[in-house]
Amino acid sequence: MKAVLRLAALSAWSRRLTLGLTLISIVLATTLLLAVERLRVDAQQSFTQSVSGVDLVVGARTGAVQLMLYAVFHSGAASNNIGWKSYQSIAGHPAVEWAVPLSLGDSHRGFAVLGTSAEYFRHFRHGEGEALRFSAGQAFGSVFEAVIGSEVAARLDYAPGQEIRLSHGFSEAGMSEHGDKPFRIVGILAPTGTPVDRTVHVSLEAISALHLDWVGGAPVPGLAIPPQFVAKFDLQPKEITAALVGLKQRSDVFRMQRFINDYRGEPLLAVLPGVALDELWQAIGMVERTLLAISALVVLVGLSGLTATLLAGLNERRRELAILRALGAGPRDLFLMLTAEGLLVTTLGALLGLALTGFGSSLAAPWLLERFGVVLSTRLPGAGELELLVLVIVTGLLASLVPGWRAWRMSLADGLTPRL
């Protein structure tokens, strides 16, 4: 068996140019397959950990997925708001350790504006319980100060000290601008790979100040309250969009969820973020399965090229194989040699693809996080990647059986008899 494997390696080396091109295609196809799998796993983990350390997300009664979409991902619109008194009642419950209010509805050049309190920067967690960090500046301290996410700063080329103006609604065009009340950027958050990167953060009082001279979603004609006068008004919000709640003991989560869902003051909904995010991921899981299927097809194409190369080479190697037969090699040996040759190329290509995936991940991770907010981990291959690697090698083995079977059937006379 050792002699057969050595012979297969020498035979492959003698045709290194032809097989080298096939090897490159297998390396690239394997890299694509493993990269998609790594992106899929890391994207799912990043997605389901967009918010961590939060026991309950509270909003007006609606679907759990819809609540997570607008409360965590700032996408869509709430069916209704929560009264400020209801929020205070929940925040003051004996089981609640902290509560963070969220107010949505405005935007800045396509990015969502989130009204919240300073507690947001202390209690919000993402990933494996990581706290928010500032890459520049600090949290807002007055009404017309703003903290922006890393993607907002990168795309719009903003820096602390610049002034920005917010718009009413989420659309980039066709919405009224709060042009008379500019905000000054006082902080930029470090990249998180979550919707925080694409958000402009202001205080709840700022949201109230913006709409002092607005009624029914439109500015009041002839009425304009300058920024320097807003402090004379009561800026405590009358309602908010949603709230993040942290409990003193995790064991109280279901009891607190029932208390909120049965709240008599108004119809409310409390959801466990982990469960709701898993449900939301399942709803969009077809995209990841499609990408994985496309990558698998690319691998099959690469392995088909290997089979075609070995089969095409058989016509040129008939005399070589016949000489091996004359020297004592049996059909079984020829079968094993051709199969081992294909398996050797496939295994080498799969391992090189694995190494290229790891190397590419370490290089691309910072760039993907900064430009696209995708957290790509630089880690050892996961169980899913190893399963795909074994699957590639097994598929390569099966593809190599075809030229091996053809070599089995070749007779000694086929290679030694001159062809006229």
Q: Are residues 78 and 176 in the same domain?
A: yes
Domain of 95?
Answer: 56-271
Q: How far is it, in rounded angstroms, from Cα 135 to Cα 120?
A: 17
The predicted structure's pLDDT at residue 263: 92
279's tokens: 């449900």
Tens digit of pLDDT for each residue in 309-368? 666 665 666 666 666 666 666 666 667 777 787 788 888 888 998 999 888 888 877 777
Q: With a threshold of 0.85, does the pTM exceed it? A: no
Residues 145 and 64 in one domain: yes
pLDDT in tens, 275-316: 888 777 776 667 767 777 877 787 777 777 767 766 666 566
* pLDDT for the residue numbered 392: 85
CA 146 vs CA 167, 175, 194, 227, 397: distances in Å: 14, 20, 18, 15, 59
63: in domain: yes
Instruction: Please tell me the total count of domains within the chain.
Output: 2
30-77: pLDDT as tens digits: 888 888 888 777 777 777 777 888 999 999 998 888 898 888 888 877
Tell me, yes or no, whether 205 and 61 share the same domain: yes
Q: Which of 249, 271, 293 is the last residue of a domain?
A: 271
Q: What is the mean pLDDT of residues 249-269?
A: 93
Residue 5: strand, helix, or coil: helix
Q: Confirm if 83 and 235 have CB atoms less than 8 A apart.
A: no
- Say which residue the tokens 């949603």 belong to: 242
Whether 39 and 65 share a structural domain: no
Cβ atoms within 10 Å of 258's Cβ, excluding its own:
11
* Beta carbons within 8 Å of 10's beta carbon, 6+ residues apart: none
* In a domain? residue 370: yes
Residue 276 lies in a domain: no
The string of pLDDT tens digits covering residues 141-191 is 999 999 999 989 989 999 999 999 998 876 554 457 777 889 999 999 998
Residues 209-248: pLDDT tens digits?
Answer: 888 877 766 677 777 787 888 888 888 899 999 999 999 9
Last residue of a domain, one of 271, 295, 320: 271
- pLDDT for 413 equals 46
φ, ψ at 173 (rounded to 5°)? -125, 150
The residue from 271, 295, 315 where one domain ends is: 271
